[in-house]
Amino acid sequence: MSLNDKVVLVTGASSGIGAAIAIKFASEGAKVAIVGRNEKKLSNVANRLQAVGSTPLVINADVAKDDDAKRIVSETIGHFSKLDVLVNNAGIGNIATIVQENTMDVYDQVMGTNLRAPVHLIHLASPHLIESKGNVINVSSIASKCVISDNNLAYGASKAALDHCTKYIAFELAPKGVRVNTINPGYVRTDILEKIVQNEDFENLIWKSMMNSSPMHRLCETDEIADLALFLASDKAKGITGASYVIDSGALLLGGKRPPLES
């Protein structure tokens, strides 16, 4: 599934799924632009891409800011002169219940990053994707298809809306030769908990709970998501658009909700 000379733009690429996708695509010959807010982590990912023979375009930006979004696309086109694949991976998982004082602040933040930003980037990138007959991969979640917890209203709603927007955009762009799909991961082993959990024992309990949400008793790995993204971006998926690909180790078979923590 070679992507030789294809130009790929990956948001949320400073760690986790986004970093794995960027590295996977680079190893298949793609020219990659990586976007993230954490400059240090982004630099580390750039070094990993160079180790597989690719020198990426590094863009330190926040996709939720309109001026940054415009800069992301303009710098990519300015550097590579085209765009073949847009991977909207950037997202946040801020939590709040419906009764909390800050519920609407959290809702607006999550919707801004997880829904408005990818739609805006597709809007900005669409002329270039039409020219290249390219494609878009939106990284969603199984939270779009089930209730994963009692404090993920904003996150689940943002991902459900992203899934549906994907179908509408896919329908609009199909006659122009552009494909648009989503990947819906379940629980994936990343460094996300390091940002919100300071206790290693408690972090391990959370990972164990996530593993118990799967009938296979396993977490997905970032490389598995990257492999699926590579397939969807390649010509092997030329007949696939408007689709949602679940990769969750079977978590939806058990309802998708994370079991209570066990001591």
Strands 179-185, 188-189: pairing kind: unpaired
Stretch (H or E) spanning 111: helix 103-111
CA–CA distance, 158 with 236 (Å, rounded to integer):
29
The reported pLDDT for the residue numbered 21 is: 99
- The Cα-based distances of 100 to 54, 60, 126, 155 in angstroms read 46, 33, 38, 15
Report the distance separating Cα 242 and Cα 6, nearest Å: 22
Chain Cα centroid distance, residue 42:
15
Neighbours of 181 (CB within 10 A): 23
pLDDT at 107 over 70: yes
Q: Is residue 123 part of a domain?
A: yes
Can you give the residue range of the structural domain that contains 151? 7-254
Q: Does residue 262 fall inside a structural domain?
A: no
What is the structure's pLDDT at 258? 73
CA distances from 53 to 31, 44, 108, 151, 233 (A): 10, 15, 40, 43, 20
pLDDT digits over 237-263, tens only? 999 999 999 999 999 999 987 777 665
Assess if residue 54 is contained within a domain: yes
pLDDT, averaged across the chain: 94
- Distance (Å, rounded) from C-alpha 110 to C-alpha 115? 8
Residue 263 forms part of a structural domain: no
- Summarised one tens digit per residue, pLDDT across range 44-90 is 999 999 999 999 999 999 999 999 999 999 999 999 999 999 999 99
Q: Are 37 and 62 in contact (CB under 8 A)?
A: yes
Reported pTM: 0.95
State yes or no: pLDDT of 206 exceeds 90: no
Write 65-68 long-range contacts (CB < 8 A, 24+).
66/120
10 beta partners = 34, 87
Residue 208 pLDDT: 85
Query: Mean per-residue pLDDT for 186-201?
Result: 72
Supply the residues annotated as catalytic: 155
In a domain, 259, yes or no: no
Name the residue with higher pLDDT: 153 or 199.
153
Residue-wise pLDDT tens digits, 109-139: 999 999 999 999 999 999 999 999 999 999 9
Per-residue buried b or exposed e for 226-253, using 16+ beta carbons within 10 Å of the residue's own CB: bbbbbebbbeebeeebbbbbbbbbebbe
Structural domains in the chain (count) = 1
Q: Whose structure tokens read 């919707």? A: 111
CATH code, domain carrying 12: 3.40.50.720
Q: What is the spatial distance between Cα 218 and Cα 94, in angstroms, rounded to a whole number?
A: 24
